[in-house]
Structure 1
Amino acid sequence: MRRFLINGEVSSDDADDFQHLLTLAYRDKARPLCLCNDEGVPMYVAKIGDQLVIKRMPLTGADHDAACPSYEPPYELSGLGPLMGGAIKLDPAAGTAALKLDFSLSKRRSSGAGAVGSETADSVKNDSKKLSLRGLLHFLWHESGLTEWTAHFAGKRHWWQVYHHLQEAARTMSVWQQSLAERLFVPEPFRAEEKAAIEQRRAQALSPLFHASTGPKTLMLLVGEVKEFSSARNGQLVIIKHMPGFRLYLEEPAWRRLQRRFDTELTLWGSNETSHLIAIATIAGSPSGVVTINEIALMTVTEQWLPIENAYEERLLDRLTRMREKMVKGLRFELLRTQPLANVILPEHRPLARALYIVPQGADERFEAALREMIDARPDMSAWIWRTGEAEMPPLTV
């Protein structure tokens, strides 16, 4: 049972009139206070499908009590910490996060299509001032709560939930003083009986791609699950699930770069039939009506939609999702792969919350030194370390 202060009235989430109070708060745009601590933490009411729920505001997870379901582990243990105040700035009054991007949402009409992320390794810059395309995908996933897992979620997380939570997260973000939700398209779950209506809504949502006939082209962001890549004349077609009959065109040079840069993600996806491959892309409309990919990045997620960056994380998450403890998957954002992060955090572990670190084979002295510094900085958390080049996975129950 959780207690909230809603429009001056204290209520619990199991009270008979709780949904009525949420309805009034949603109508009035009132912010409930989570009463997990003495000060109370501001939250907001969101509509997920046809259900009203209370969600934490961007980047406020650390303000909640450690026992509260809305609590988030320390940001400095993942790649999110270095971005705070630079690439990501919280506006407490508006309850939104203003983002700085290192890619454009417009392009000159004479330029070619088909970049693969930024022209840096793995489309990631070690730069805390701006978000790369993949960094934005990580932030959307993080703020959607899709990095968290409890036994309660088993069998209940599908594209329907992913779609609604991504959309809601985008409404709490702004880019260039515009809501990110206005520039982001996430395909809604496809239902054959509603095919015509879904296609009409999709055409309307993507119509800005085809509006202007002069000046820079408007680009939009698309986040979706890749169904397959299909050969086309002079390129590839990227086919997204829940968008039957719709194709995204990627030029051949960009396709070759994509295969090189995201070889790990593609291999992880191809080696496990239960995994999902998530694409984030900036897309443009052509005079012929074809939608082309201007820039693209990939992320592999497990059957439970938890992000993974290698087979070791995949094995670790497979173990953890069978346990009852809450877990939070760490994300790299703009951190280089040569830098450590807490791959997973178990916030409810006792007697201390636990950070789980995976040390890759061939990690150098700088990696080890940074890892020791990270662990020493959090004496309130215990550390679990798996040195993949030296031993099998250590026990998780110790």
Structure 2
Amino acid sequence: MRRFLIGDTSYAEDSADLRSLLPHAYEQKLRPHCQCKDPSVAMYIARIDGQYLVKRMPLSGRDHEPACPSYEAPYELTGLGPLIGNAIQIDANGRSALKLDFSMTKRGPRTGPTAPTEPSEPAIRNETKKLSLRAMLHYLWEIGELTAWRSSWGGRRGWGRVRTSLTNAASQMTARGGELSDVLFVPEVFHHEDKEGIAARRATALAGAQASLTGPRKLMIIVAEVKEFTVAREGHRITLRHLPFPLMIEEGTWKRLVARYETELELWRSNGEFHLILIATFGISPSGVAAVEEVAMMVVNENWIPFESTHERLLLERLSGLRRKSVKGLRFNLSRDQPIVSVTLPEQRPSPVAMFIVPAGRGEDYERAMAEMIEARPEMTPWVWRVTEGEMPRLP
């Protein structure tokens, strides 16, 4: 059971005194400290769905004791590592300043949106300096703690909770000198009884994407679940769940998108329980038509955990029935030719577990890089599944 220090008083995590204090502490911007270590570790209070929760500071999980529920594996084990201090700069209050590798404005007449390049292509610009659109999506998922799962959460995570997690994460971020929340749009779950209220809030939120008569057009970022793709008179329509209008995409960009995300689309179409998540920059024309400029996608399972292969999906399925916590590692800007920890088990005893999956066709360079990662973290127990060697090894 965790204990939190607020001011000069220590409170047990489940105490009534703490629950009654949190609303006041939230309003006064008081900072709790987790007492799993000495000195204690700074945390913050979040208000989610009317409840007040003590949360760890972004990327501070490794500062906690491994036995503490707030512990998380070092971010160097995933694609997040190269970005910290470069594309992502975190201040003393836990707020992240992001450097973006995509434009948030559009100058001149519209010539059609562009698809992002595959991160493994040689032409990519210094991948540690700026966040690609896909990396932005991964970072929102990471800070929103949507990469974590345990069996007791079954049935409690739908789009409403995902949206709250994403918007709370964005509230801790800035980009291009402004609040990320001001340019990020995540559709609300549609409820017929609140139809007019949702429409009014949506119109207010989308005001920044409306085309102006002069100067460069400002763009916004949307994160939403894809419902379907359909052919339009020119190009394609992307229909998104909980959104009453489609996003338009030009034919050439559509072809590049399908080629770039062939794996994600194949996985999504293979199972009706999977979700395809889209992130895109977009603008709205004077006539009210919304069109994407740049776009990226990822596929998530029924628990909204991202995965990039059938082997990862199988591992997540096996882990989903366990009471212990699992945390999915994400790739961010890294290519598929570079190893990352697929999943960590931070609560495993006697030491946390780092789980690697080695896909078919990976050579000595991949194995060498993975061995270096394992050697650099002796406090973690490695678990490795080389898919060419057969069935998944026994879980720890």
Instruction: Report deviation, 1:285.
Output: 1.2
Q: Which amino acid aligns with 2:112?
A: A
Instruction: Report deviation, 1:266.
Output: 0.6
In structure 2, relative to structure 1, the CA distance for the partners of 1:337 and 1:82 (3 Å cut) is: same
SS in 2 for 1:68: coil
Q: What is the distance in 1 between the residues matched to 2:9 and 2:84?
A: 34
Aligned counterpart, 2:67: 67
In structure 2, relative to structure 1, the CA distance for the partners of 1:3 and 1:345 (3 Å cut) is: same
Aligned counterpart, 2:26: 26
State whether residues 87 and 101 of structure 1, in contact with CA within 8 Å, keep that contact through their aligned partners in structure 2. Answer: yes
Q: Which amino acid aligns with 2:97?
A: A
1:265-312 per-residue CA deviation (whole Å, 9 max, x = no partner) reads 011110011111100000111111111111100000010111101111
Q: Which amino acid aligns with 1:258?
A: L
In structure 2, relative to structure 1, the CA distance for the partners of 1:124 and 1:44 (3 Å cut) is: farther
Aligned counterpart, 1:53: 53
The reply to whether residue 183 of structure 1 matches residue 200 of structure 2 is no
Q: Which amino acid aligns with 1:9?
A: T
Instruction: Report deviation, 1:56.
Output: 1.6
SS in 1 for 2:70: coil
Q: What is the distance in 2 between the residues matched to 1:306 and 1:361?
A: 23
State whether residues 125 and 132 of structure 1, in contact with CA within 8 Å, keep that contact through their aligned partners in structure 2. Answer: no
Aligned counterpart, 1:218: 218
Instruction: Report deviation, 1:325.
Output: 2.0
Q: What is the distance in 1 between the residues matched to 2:13 and 2:388?
A: 47
In structure 2, relative to structure 1, the CA distance for the partners of 1:304 and 1:177 (3 Å cut) is: same
Q: What is the distance in 1 between the residues matched to 2:381 and 2:61?
A: 20
More deviation, 30-39/8-17: 8-17
State whether residues 302 and 308 of structure 1, in contact with CA within 8 Å, keep that contact through their aligned partners in structure 2. Answer: yes
| Match runs of 1:1-398 below 5 Å | 1-92=1-92, 94-118=93-117, 127-210=127-210, 212-243=212-243, 245-397=244-396
Give the TM-score of the pair, scaled to structure 1.
0.96
Q: What is the distance in 2 between the residues matched to 1:285 and 1:190?
A: 21
Q: Which amino acid aligns with 2:289?
A: V
Q: What is the distance in 2 between the residues matched to 1:233 and 1:140?
A: 34
Q: What is the distance in 2 between the residues matched to 1:351 and 1:183?
A: 44
Q: Which amino acid aligns with 2:155?
A: G
SS in 1 for 2:16: coil
1:215-247 per-residue CA deviation (whole Å, 9 max, x = no partner) reads 11100000011111122111111111112x221
Q: What is the distance in 2 between the residues matched to 1:38 and 1:151?
A: 31
State whether residues 330 and 342 of structure 1, in contact with CA within 8 Å, keep that contact through their aligned partners in structure 2. Answer: yes
State whether residues 150 and 321 of structure 2, in contact with CA within 8 Å, keep that contact through their aligned partners in structure 1. Answer: no
Q: What is the distance in 1 between the residues matched to 2:113 and 2:332?
A: 22
Sequence identity percentage: 49
Q: What is the distance in 1 between the residues matched to 2:5 and 2:261?
A: 46
State whether residues 125 and 334 of structure 1, in contact with CA within 8 Å, keep that contact through their aligned partners in structure 2. Answer: no
In the alignment, structure 2 segments of 5+ residues that lack a partner are: none
In structure 2, relative to structure 1, the CA distance for the partners of 1:137 and 1:41 (3 Å cut) is: same
In structure 2, relative to structure 1, the CA distance for the partners of 1:124 and 1:360 (3 Å cut) is: farther
Instruction: Report deviation, 1:120.
Output: 5.3
Q: What is the distance in 1 between the residues matched to 2:118 and 2:109?
A: 19
In the alignment, structure 1 segments of 5+ residues that lack a partner are: none
1:149-194 per-residue CA deviation (whole Å, 9 max, x = no partner) reads 1122112111111110100000111112211111101111111111
Q: Which amino acid aligns with 1:375?
A: I
Instruction: Report deviation, 1:264.
Output: 0.5
Q: Which amino acid aligns with 1:32?
A: P
Q: What is the distance in 1 between the residues matched to 2:120 and 2:284?
A: 27
Q: What is the distance in 2 between the residues matched to 1:363 and 1:256?
A: 28
- Length, aligned pairs only: 395
Q: What is the distance in 1 between the residues matched to 2:352 and 2:88?
A: 26
1:349-397 per-residue CA deviation (whole Å, 9 max, x = no partner) reads 2222111111111101111111111111122111111111221111114
Instruction: Report deviation, 1:17.
Output: 2.8
State whether residues 66 and 352 of structure 2, in contact with CA within 8 Å, keep that contact through their aligned partners in structure 1. Answer: no
Q: What is the distance in 2 between the residues matched to 1:126 and 1:341?
A: 19
Q: Which amino acid aligns with 1:272?
A: N
More deviation, 14-23/319-328: 14-23
State whether residues 126 and 334 of structure 1, in contact with CA within 8 Å, keep that contact through their aligned partners in structure 2. Answer: no
Q: What is the distance in 2 between the residues matched to 1:388 and 1:173?
A: 38
State whether residues 219 and 282 of structure 1, in contact with CA within 8 Å, keep that contact through their aligned partners in structure 2. Answer: yes
1:311-344 per-residue CA deviation (whole Å, 9 max, x = no partner) reads 1101111111112221110101111111111111
More deviation, 14-23/94-103: 14-23
SS in 2 for 1:307: coil
SS in 2 for 1:308: coil
In structure 2, relative to structure 1, the CA distance for the partners of 1:121 and 1:249 (3 Å cut) is: farther
Q: What is the distance in 2 between the residues matched to 1:209 and 1:97?
A: 23
Q: Which amino acid aligns with 2:33?
A: L
Q: Which amino acid aligns with 2:37?
A: N
Runs of 4+ in 1 over 4 A off after TM superposition: 119-126
1:105-140 per-residue CA deviation (whole Å, 9 max, x = no partner) reads 111132423211247558976611111000010010
Q: Which amino acid aligns with 1:269?
A: W
**Aligned-residue RMSD, C-alpha:** 1.6
Instruction: Report deviation, 1:211.
Output: 5.6
